[in-house]
A and B are shown apart, each in its own frame.
Chain A
């Protein structure tokens, strides 16, 4: 079931350099959200752009949902000015969700603003001892978590100003050998280039890998057919026989098995 809700902003704050977290009251969407799903937001009542803005959910409880976003475009520039009590129109929960493999150790990789669905997955995992969380950013100011190797939380920065120096992929390779990773499952969300590199690495080395993808999207519910992803093995989506080569990120995703994705550079 998909809902259209008018939510109230509970808080909206800058948690790292130009990265914001907002908590929205939600009666229905919050209760039926699974990690990996997203909402489609109308940044303001009189938003003039043609499209809502899809945002991954980073946390949900029975009466609210959180999102994490970077202020970069028309929509997020409005969003960062949201004030407590403001009413926001959202549609959700949308898309598929992460499937946790209970028999394997999990390696989570979140880069840039791609951390929202990764954090949500991390929160959902009960046995965190068997999970390793990697979060990458350009520099120290973009991080809002603590590098904490004893609890398997690894932060990296491109400039080495905090945690492991290098990008997420560098950090991953520093902690794990390829052999270490082959009995684990990777869950990845981040900038397209990072996803492309990690996805190719996983495929080349027979590592099970899931990607949360993002692309330009209008409706979020499969009516516009705009948010396509090219897949490489022509698997067919049940009931939508025409969507074999091109899948919809909004309905068939946003979570895809890396082996089905032709390119993450959407």
Chain B
């Protein structure tokens, strides 16, 4: 009822975890049965290890939070050695998120992962991180760069290729189309919105980098609007992200056109939400005489 295929890969349900909000999977494994997820997307990995940004890296805002982690990660070689053995044991689809600052970074990282004995089924390409100085987001705001990066990676893997899109653009549909033309199997959206918070006592920004990525329930309406626009302009599946906090939110995203969704900031409060969401969605399906998840994807009743 909840299972869905992308390429030849079956996702047992539409619930995944968003990159950067679930570490490498092992950290939360005491608290949640990882096999209940349709997919697990690991924290962005880069060609070389990154320390990330100075503290403070996070702060709370109304109905959400800001973060500026700066892609702290152990680098792809350590990832292959230290993380893939654990990930290979998980009974869920593992998706590896890759970030970079120039095209060669992405290519080399992907090639190393292709050569590793991982059971991962997909790559999600982060072209939309707002928290690094050296680029990254540059790809995500340019249709031309998005298309050429997608093409380069497409020619190097048969696994599912997902381009993760930024909402910090004039037209997300244009970037989505560029990814589709470049050969992506799916797009995921949205990454965080650029935001800021200020401490009025110290008169300083609350993040060391001044600005960071806004996430949580406050961005859900923005995310839905972006999914809706992408669904109208793309033929490939869309993976919805942005403030999803319960089963009703998941259904909203499916109606707007998402095939799968990712839980993000909510993982910090409820790491085991996946225990209850799939059943709650099934209950909704029964109540609404839906027998297959494909019936509800993009089934929004809209005049437009």
Q: Which residues of the other chain, B, contact A240 by a CB distance below 8 angstroms?
A: 74
B residues contacting A by CB (< 8 A) are 20-23, 27-28, 30-31, 43, 49-52, 54-61, 63-65, 67, 69, 72-75, 78, 82, 216-217, 265, 267-269, 271-272
- Establish whether residues A242 and B72, one from each chain, have CB atoms under 8 Å apart when the complex forms: yes
Q: Which residues of the other chain, B, contact A221 by a CB distance below 8 angstroms?
A: 23, 27-28, 31, 271
> Helix, strand, loop or mixed for chain B's interface?
loop
User: How far apart sit A48 and B74, CA to CA, in the bound complex (Å)?
Assistant: 33
A246's partner among B55, B59, B217, B265 (CB-CB below 8 A) is: B55
- Establish whether residues A226 and B67, one from each chain, have CB atoms under 8 Å apart when the complex forms: yes
Beyond A221-B31, A228-B55, 12 additional pairs, beta carbon < 8 A: A3-B31, A50-B64, A51-B65, A51-B268, A52-B268, A219-B271, A223-B27, A225-B52, A228-B57, A229-B55, A240-B74, A243-B72
On whether A50 and B269 interact (CB within 8 A), knowing A225-B69, A225-B72, the answer reads yes
A 208-224 binary contact with B (CB < 8 Å = 1; else 0): 00000001101101111
Q: Kindly provide the distance from the CB of B59 to the nearest chain A CB, expressed in whole angstroms.
A: 6
User: How far apart sit A49 and B63, CA to CA, in the bound complex (Å)?
Assistant: 6
B57's partner among A48, A226, A245 (CB-CB below 8 A) is: A226
B272's partner among A4, A224, A225, A230 (CB-CB below 8 A) is: A4
- Establish whether residues A244 and B51, one from each chain, have CB atoms under 8 Å apart when the complex forms: yes
On whether A91 and B31 interact (CB within 8 A), knowing A224-B67, A224-B69, A241-B78, the answer reads yes
B54's partner among A49, A228, A241 (CB-CB below 8 A) is: A228
Q: Kindly provide the distance from the CB of B65 to the nearest chain A CB, expressed in whole angstroms.
A: 4
A241's partner among B28, B52, B74, B217 (CB-CB below 8 A) is: B74
- Establish whether residues A226 and B272, one from each chain, have CB atoms under 8 Å apart when the complex forms: no
B271's partner among A4, A47, A226 (CB-CB below 8 A) is: A4
- Establish whether residues B22 and A230, one from each chain, have CB atoms under 8 Å apart when the complex forms: no
User: How far apart sit A215 and B57, CA to CA, in the bound complex (Å)?
Assistant: 11
